[in-house]
Amino acid sequence: MNRFDTFCSAFQDMLTAVEGIPQRIDRGSELVRELLSQPDWFFDYCAQLIADPARLKSLKPGIWPNEYLLHRSPDKSFSVLAYIWQPGDADTIHDHGSWGIVGTIMGSLREKKYERLDDGTREGYCELRESASSVFGPGETTFVLPVNQGLHAMDNTTDEIAASLNVYGRSIARGYTQFFDPGAHTVTRAYPPRTVKELLAVTALAALDPTRAEHVLGEALDAPRPAAVREEYEAALKRLER
């Protein structure tokens, strides 16, 4: 068993043995830092992607183009991702569907955490305040919490390549991430590329033939769909009814 596989096995065992998010973050951070102390496993991973085009092609597109899914536990209790950051790369402020641990594999990354000041009841609106700013070098970790407790953004302010390891606990499976713009006081949903294509097709139907689109969208809602996607379909139908 290689170093990364050993980490995944140890993390799975930790989740079984440890209860409570704060305790899991504490123990999980220790495991992440241990893995990051010798990052040769990540060199091997990148080398395998380059050597095997089929493996690269099998990567599922995510919201972030620099995202690599390294592992998802069979019971979906946790997932492990890596992000490769070019000089100047920066996140949009966003939330998370789970708790998580973020560690720096190489380079240096800055994290800014935010507090949401509004109550979230006004659709598409937000008020944020920056609550912390820290820089993390190789082997150092930070953490996030679910939804409004975990608003943050990370960026690479250096002129060197950086990479992060992100380990997330069980997701609440909303099907989207919320992006925040504190300057414009807006919050929007960001969907995976495949869902974006589906929702763009919904808008095209409505624009081409509203009458026929209403029938098609109504039938589509009879099929099982994630709750967030159903909300988008229902919103489209309401717009057509007007």
**Structural domains present in the chain:** 3-190 (2.60.120.10), 193-241 (no CATH)
Residue 1: predicted pLDDT: 66
| The two three-digit tokens of residue 28, written as one number | 């999980």
Say if residue 225's pLDDT is above 80. Answer: yes
Tell me the residue length of the chain.
242
Q: Is the pLDDT of residue 163 over 70?
A: yes
Is 37 exposed, middle or buried (CB count within 10 Å of its CB: 0-12, 13-18, 19+)? exposed
Rounded to an integer, the average pLDDT of 194-200 is 91
pLDDT above 80 for 228: yes
pLDDT of residue 211: 86
d(CA 108, CA 235): 42
Distance of alpha carbon 155 from alpha carbon 164, whole angstroms: 11
Name the token pair of 41. Answer: 């496993």
pLDDT tens-digit series, residues 48-107: 999 988 888 888 888 999 999 999 999 999 999 999 999 999 999 999 999 999 999 999
Which amino acid is residue 9, in one-letter code? S
Q: At what angle do helices 40-51 and 3-17 cross, to 10 degrees?
A: 120
Render pLDDT for 106-141 as a digit per residue (tens, 0 to 9): 999 999 999 999 999 998 999 999 999 999 999 999
The whole model's pTM is what? 0.89
Report DSSP state, residue 150.
G
Q: How many CB atoms lie within 10 A of CB 71?
A: 15
Q: How far apart are CA 105 and CA 156, in angstroms?
A: 13
